[in-house]
Chain A
Amino acid sequence: MLILHCPFCGPRDHSEFLYGGDARRTRPAPDDADGARWHDYVFLRDNPRGTHVEHWQHIHGCRAWLTVTRDTVTHEILAVTAARPAAAAGDGR
C-alpha cells in the first residue's frame, strides 16, 4: 500500500516494484577471491529499526533500479533516487 516516487515515472503503487534488499552492501569486485568478503556480502544483513536504505526495481515501469530510503517502523518512504550513480547525479541514463 506504499507509494514510491520513481524519479523517472512519478508516484507509483509499490505493487509495480520488486524489492531488492539492503542497498548499503558493497559487492566485492568481480575478481575478488576472498571468501569471507563474499560471505559477508551475500549473507550478513542489518535489520534496523528506523531508517533503512534499500534497492527496489521498477519492474512494471521503467525497470530502473532505485535506491529507496524507508522507515521500517512507519513504512514512510523518505527518499527515492536512481541507483545508477550517473543517473542519480542527474546525468541522465
Chain B
Amino acid sequence: MSDQPLRMAAGGRIDRSRRLVFHFDGRRMAGHPGDTLASALLANGVRLVGRSFKYHRPRGILSAGPEEPNALVTLRSGARAEPNTRATMAELFDGLEAESQHRWPSLRFDAGALNDVVSPFLPAGFYYKTFMGPRPDTRVWMWFEKHIRRAAGLGRASTAPDPDHYAKAHGFADVLVVGGGPAGLAAALAAADGGARVVLAEQMPALGGGLADRWSADGVRWLAEAKAALAAHPSVTVLTRTTVAGWYDGNVFSCVERVADHLPEPAPFQPRQRLHILRARQAVIATGAIEQPLVFADNDRPGVMLAAAAAAFPARYGVRPGRRAVVATTNDGGYDSAFALMDAGVELAAIADSRADPPVWARARAAGAGVPVLAGWTVLGAVIGLADPQVCAADLGPLDGGGGRRVACDLIAVSGGWAPAVHLLSQQGNRPAFDTERAAFLPGPLAPGQHAAGAVTGHGDDTAQCIAQGLVAGAAAAAAADAPARSRVALRRPAPLPAAARAGVAIRPVGEAPDPPWGRIRKFVDLQNDVTVKDIALANREGYASVEHLKRYTTLGMGTDQGKTANPAGMALLARQQGRPVAALGTTRFRPPYTPVALGALHGAEVGATLAPVRRTALHDRHLAAGAVMAEAGLWMRPWYYPLAGEDMDAAYRREAAHVRAACGIVDVSTLGKIDVQGPDAALFLDRVYANRMDTLKVGRVRYGLMLREDGFLMDDGTVARLAETQYFVTTTTAQAAPVLSMLEYLLEVAWPDLRVHVASITDQWAAMAVAGPHSRAVLAAALDGIDLATEALGHMGWAEGRCAGAPVRVHRASFSGELAYEVFCPTGFGEHVWDRLMAAGADHDLRPYGTEAMATLRIEKGHIAGAEIDGRTTAADVGLGRMASARKSYTGSVLKERPDLVDPARPRLVGLEVVDASARIGNGALLFGDGDPCRGHGLGHVTSVTWSPVRGRYIGLGLLSGGLDRLGERLIADEPVRGRRSLVTVVDPVFYDPAGEKLHA
C-alpha cells in the first residue's frame, strides 16, 4: 500500500511540505501538520478504529468534530495517556501514539465481540433485571459487577501522577460570542463595532466553521477579511481550541482552552490547558448545528459517515474519506456534501433522497454528472466484507417498501438533517421546542442577556443568512451590554456575501428505515452506548415512556458524547412508538460540560502543595530545626512530635509526655483562636455568650469558658482573660476559631446591635507557647523580667505582664496538662525571640519541646475534653461540665439545652476507660458493649480519645457511655470491627492524674 493512499494531491489546510510520523496500535504511519488523528488515519486507509461499548462491534469514524461517538482512542502513553480522546479532535503531532480501546486481544480479533452474537440476550435493562431485581442478595451483583465492568466501559486512565500543569484565568467580557463560524464572526465584528469588549471562543483550531469547509471564492474572501478585522481590533480576544463547556448562574462561562494538546508535550512553563472562568454581560450563542445520522440496518459499520463530515475531510485535510460513495439524505444539505465529495474526486455511485421530490437544481447537477438520484429511497442497510468489517456496499430501497438494489461503495455518507446545538442554552434553563417544519428542536424564547445567531436558531440556512443574523445579534448584545464608553475603533467590515439562490428547508424527518432483505439486523440509535431501535421499543413497552426515563433505562444520550448524534432520532422513535408528535415529548435537559473536560483543567494549580494555603506559626522554623514531624490541623501546620534518633511516634510522644510530668516541656499553642473583645458592654456581651459567668471575672484573672450553640449543644471551649474593665482576651480552640468569630460578629451586628462592643481576630497577631511541668516556674523566672511568679502574686488562673529579653509578654497561669503551667503570649514578631530565650533559660531545667500528640496524652490523663468530645452532639452535662452552666442567668443555648432528650439521664456521658490487660491496645471510635453481651449494633457508647498513658502504664481513653459514671468499675468490651480488635476495658473516673489538682496549684 502506498503512503497515504487517500491523500489528495492538493486542497485542505495542511502543510504537505512536512511529514509527521505517528503510531496507531503500533502501526507506523505518516500525516501532515494540520491533520487530526482521524484525517491522518483516513488518509492511510484506516477506518476500523475502535470497538463498541456493549456489543464490541467494529466501529469507524462518524464525524469530523466534537460530536464523535465512535472514534475514541487512548492518546499518548505512560503518565500522559488520556483515554476516550476523540480522534476527530486530536490534532496530529510528530510522534503521536494512539491505541484503540475496548478490544482484546486486538482490534481486529476481539474476544468481546461474542457479546454481539449473544446480543438478543442483552437487551436494555438486562443487568438491572438479572442482578438487581427482586433477588434480595446483592452479593450476586457484587461478584458479577467487576467482570461486567471490565467487559464494558471505555478506555482506562493512567494512574501515574499527571506530569502537566494547568492554569486558570478569570476574565470579563461585555459580550461573549460562542462559536467562530460565520454567525459568530459576524456577531463579534458587530459587537466590537458597537464598543463592546468581546471574547470569541471557537472549539476548533481554526475559525470559519462550516464556511471553511466549503470552497467558494466569496466565502474565502469574507472569512479572510473578517479574521483580519477581528485580529486588528484591540477590544476583541479570539480564543481558538477553546470549548465553552458550561454556562452558569450570573452569566459565568467555563471555557477550556487546549493550550498545548496539539504539541507532543507542553513547552517549559506552558500549561497543557487553561480554564477561562469568564463573566460576560451578554452572550451570543452561535454554536451551529450538528448533522444527524440515519437509522438503518448496520448503520454503525466503519464507512458510514455523516455527509457534511465526509465533505469536510477533503476541504480541511485534503483527504478523501472513501473512493466510491453513496449519499443518503433527507434534506437539501446532503446534496451540498455529495457534490463536494464529487468535486474532491470521490466517485458518486448514487444519491438516495428520502423525499419524493428532490430539488430541481440538485437533480440537474446530478444528472449532468451522471449520478442517479433515487427519490423516495433511502439506505436500508450497510453491507460489509466477509473478511473485512467495513462497508463494501449499500442496500438501497424505497421507503414505502418494495424491491431495492445493492450498490457497491466504500462510503455511505448520510444526512438526517441538522440538530441545533442548543446545549449551552439548555444548561441555562432554555426549553427547546420541536419545530415540525424543520424537524428539529429549536431554542425556546431567549432570556435577557442571551442572543443567538446562525444555525443554532434553526434558521441559518445559508452563509449569508448566518452572517446577517450574527451582525444583528452582535449589535444588539453590544447595546444591551451597556459597556462603559470607550473610544471606538474603526472596524473594517467585510463586504457582504451574495444571498443564496435557494430557498426553503424541505426535510423529511428521520425515521427507522425499512428492513433490508437479510436475516438478523440491528439498527443503532446511539452508537456510543449501543442503543438500538429495539431497545427503545422495549423501554417504551416496559413503561419508560418519558424521555428522561428512556435515557436512564437505555443509556441513550449518555457517555462522553452525551447523545449529540443520537438524541433526535431517539426522541423521534419514542414518539412514534407512542403515536404522539415529537413536540409532545420534549427533550432532555443538557448539563455541563458540553464535551468532556480533563479534571486537571478544573483543579488548575489547586493540587498537591498548592491545594490550599498553609498557615505556619511564628515558631514553625524552630520546630523544623528541632526535628519535629509536622501535622496538619486545618490549614495550620503544627509540631506533632519530636523524634530522637531511632524513635517512632509512639516512643517519641510517650517520652515527651513523661518528661513534662517529670521535669518541664514547651509546646506551641499559637494556633488557638484569639479574639479581642472591647467596649463598655463587653462584660454583658460575654455573659450572654458563655454558659458560665463572665461579668464576675476580675481584671487580672483568667476563666475557663463554655460556649453553647443556640440549640443547646456544646460549641466550643476556651479561656477568657479580663485585661481591663472594658477589654477581654478570648481564646477558642484551633478548629472553631473562625465559626466563633463569625457568630460573635453576627450577634453584635444582627441580634444585639445596641451593645457597644467590638470584636477582632488577633489570632495571627499573637504567638503563644505553653510551658508545663514542675520546673516551669523556674524556667520562666530565668527568662522573664517584671513578673512575680510566686503563687501569692500569680496564682492558678491569673495573668501578668512582663518582658522577655526586652520583648513584651503576657503570662496566663493556666494548665491543660494538669501540671504547674503557664501560657506565654507575645506579639507574633517576637515569637522566635521569646522561644529562644525560654529554651536558653530552660537548658538548666531540662526544658524540652513537646508536640500535639504528647499534649493530647497529658490532657486525656487529666480528663480534659477536646474536639473529639465536643463533636456537635454533646451537651455540657454529657461531658461532665453541667455544673459550669450558670442557672442564674440566660445565655445562648440556655433554653434549648433543657429539651427533654438533652436532659435524658440515659444519654451517653463522659467516662474514663482503662484497658484491663496492660498489653492491650484500644483505638478511637471503638464501640462499647457490656462484658458478655453480643457485640452488635451501636452498643452502650463509644471511645472518643485514646492514648498510651505514662502515668497508668497502659492505654487509657475517654468515652461517652450510657449511664456514665454510674458504671464506675464495670468491665466493658471495646470493639473495633474495622481494625479487627476487641479489648476489655474498665470504667474509671475521667481524671486519671492528680484528681485533687495539687500539681497545678503548686
Contacts and interface: CB of A to CB of B under 8 A. Distances in A.
A1 B749 contact: no
Contacts of A35: 895-896, 898-899
A1 B898 contact: no
B144 interface: no
Nearest to B246: A1
Contact of A65 (B750, B898, B899): B750
Nearest to A18: B742
B998 interface: no
A83 B895 CA distance: 26
B751 interface: yes
B157 to A, nearest CB: 28
A23 B752 CA distance: 14
B264 interface: no
Interface in A26-61: 27-28, 30-35, 38-39, 41-43, 55, 57, 59
The interface centre, meaning the residue of A23, A43, A83 with most chain B CB atoms within 10 A of its CB, is: A83
Given A63-B745, A84-B749, A2 B896 contact: no
Per DSSP, are chain B's interface residues mostly helix, strand or loop, or mixed? mixed
B895 A32 contact: yes
B742 A57 contact: yes
A4 to B, nearest CB: 10
B742 A30 contact: no
B238 to A, nearest CB: 24
B248 interface: yes
The interface centre, meaning the residue of B752, B753, B895, B899 with most chain A CB atoms within 10 A of its CB, is: B895
B249 A42 contact: no
Contacts of A85: 753
Interface in B706-756: 710-711, 738, 742, 745-746, 749-753
A42 B710 contact: yes
Interface string B672-703: 00000000000000001000000000000000
A3 interface: yes
B896 A84 contact: no
Contacts of A42: 710-711, 896
Contacts of B895: 28, 32-35, 38
B543 interface: no
Contact of A84 (B248, B252, B750): B750
Contacts of A55: 746, 750
B250 interface: yes
Contacts of B742: 18, 57, 59
B252 A1 contact: yes
A41 to B, nearest CB: 8
Contacts of A3: 250, 279
B752 A30 contact: yes
A80 B938 CA distance: 47
The interface centre, meaning the residue of B688, B710, B738 with most chain A CB atoms within 10 A of its CB, is: B710
Contacts of B752: 30
Given A30-B688, A75-B249, A38 B749 contact: no
Nearest to A84: B749
B546 interface: no
Contacts of A18: 742
B828 interface: no
A20 B746 contact: yes
A87 B750 CA distance: 11
Contact of B751 (A2, A27, A64): A27
Given A31-B890, A38-B896, A42-B896, A83 B250 contact: no
The interface centre, meaning the residue of A42, A82, A87 with most chain B CB atoms within 10 A of its CB, is: A42
Nearest to A13: B170
Nearest to A75: B249
A2 B890 CA distance: 39
Nearest to A29: B890
Nearest to B895: A38
A60 to B, nearest CB: 11
Contacts of B896: 35, 38-39, 42
The interface centre, meaning the residue of B249, B746, B749, B751 with most chain A CB atoms within 10 A of its CB, is: B749
Contacts of B749: 64-65, 82-84, 87
A53 B989 CA distance: 50
Contacts of B890: 30-33
Contacts of B751: 27
Nearest to A77: B250
A38 B746 contact: no
B745 A65 contact: yes
A3 B746 CA distance: 22
Interface in B197-249: 248-249
Nearest to B711: A42
Interface string A6-26: 000000000000101001000
Given A30-B890, A65-B750, A1 B250 contact: yes
Contacts of A33: 890, 895
A30 B755 CA distance: 12
Given A30-B890, A35-B898, A75 B250 contact: yes
Interface in B893-948: 895-896, 898-899
A43 B745 CA distance: 21
B746 A84 contact: no
B676 to A, nearest CB: 14
A86 B745 CA distance: 15
Contact of B249 (A1, A31, A34, A86): A1
Nearest to B247: A1
B249 A65 contact: no
Nearest to B447: A74
Nearest to B761: A63
A20 B750 CA distance: 11
Interface in B838-876: none
B782 to A, nearest CB: 41
A32 B895 CA distance: 8
A23 B750 CA distance: 9
A1 B746 contact: no
A53 B685 CA distance: 27
A2 B250 contact: yes
Contacts of A57: 742, 745-746
Contacts of B898: 35
A80 to B, nearest CB: 14
21 contacts: A3-B250, A18-B742, A23-B750, A28-B895, A30-B688, A30-B890, A30-B891, A32-B890, A32-B895, A35-B898, A42-B710, A42-B711, A55-B746, A64-B749, A65-B746, A65-B750, A82-B749, A84-B750, A84-B753, A85-B753, A86-B753
Given A35-B899, A38-B895, A65-B750, 5 more contacts: A3-B279, A27-B750, A30-B891, A38-B710, A41-B710
Interface of B: 248-250, 252, 279, 688, 710-711, 738, 742, 745-746, 749-753, 890-891, 895-896, 898-899
Which 3 pairs of residues, A with B, have the shortest CB-CB distance?
A: A1-B252, A84-B749, A75-B249
